[in-house]
Amino acid sequence: MEKRPSARERAQPKKVHVIGCGAIAREILAICKTNGLDHIDLHCLPAIWHNTPEKITPGLREAIARARENGFERIFIAYADCGTGGELDRLCEEEGVTRIPGPHCYSFFAGNADFAKRWDDDLSAFFLTDFLARQFEAFVIEPLGLDRHPELRDMYFGHYRKLVYLSQVEDTALQEKARRAADTLGLEYEYRFTGYGDLTRSLIEA
């Protein structure tokens, strides 16, 4: 005789396999903990792909296939477009999955609507998130070779006017790191606390 699920089992949401960027893993876990999203099963891809977006779509295709092999029916992509030039949206359509709305993490952390409203003023802005404030050397300075050739700074950043730190948590140590990053790049410094923005709603609705 087939065993029927208990009332408690029926009340629990189905597991959702979230495939996300490693650069927002800490934020996803914090949102899950705060909102009781125990049904989310998180798998993150390398954060360094932030610098090589051509790896994102093929990597996600493989991760989706593995998730389905492991029996997951519900899959959510915790990436915005992230420099894939629409390739990620084409993959989502082919695979029948959804992703976080928005062009990149700066936008969904700020709130896509609010980010779009400020776009004209932010055309000359270089953005940091909490992750990039923590990993500024590893994800900005070293990949661009500025640790070895600081004279290249103005070639890379001469068209920027300011560094805008979009912070997810209010942390004075991270704010100081971001301020030093602005000084290193020769840019004005601007701080905006965003919290988790649209990421929270996206995960709750996944």
Residues of CATH 3.40.50.1860 domain(s) within the chain?
7-105+196-205
Choice between 9 and 132, residue whose per-residue pLDDT is larger: 132
Give the pLDDT score at 3.
52
The pLDDT mean for the chain works out to 94
**pLDDT above 50: residue 11:** no
> 167-196 pLDDT, tens per residue?
999 999 999 999 999 999 999 999 999 999
Supply the DSSP string of 109-177, one letter for each residue. HH-HHHHHHTTTTTTTEEEE-HHHHHTHIIIIITTTTTTT-GGGHHHHHTT--EEEEEESS--HHHHHH
> 112-138 pLDDT, tens per residue?
999 999 999 999 999 999 999 999 999
Give the pLDDT score at 14.
86
Q: What value does the mean pLDDT take over residues 76-95?
A: 97
Give the pLDDT score at 8.
46
Strand partners, 188: 162
Q: How far apart are CA 133 and CA 11, in angstroms?
A: 40
> 37-59 pLDDT, tens per residue?
999 999 999 999 989 999 999 99
pLDDT interval class at 10 (50, 70, 90): very low
**pLDDT above 90: residue 30:** yes
Counting residues of the chain whose pLDDT is more than 70, the rounded percentage is: 94
Choice between 88 and 5, residue whose per-residue pLDDT is larger: 88
Total residue count of the chain as it appears in this document? 206
**pLDDT above 90: residue 163:** yes
Q: What is the pTM of this model?
A: 0.91
Fold of the domain spanning 7-105+196-205: Rossmann fold (3.40.50)
Placement of tokens 């709603």 in the chain = 201
**pLDDT above 90: residue 9:** no
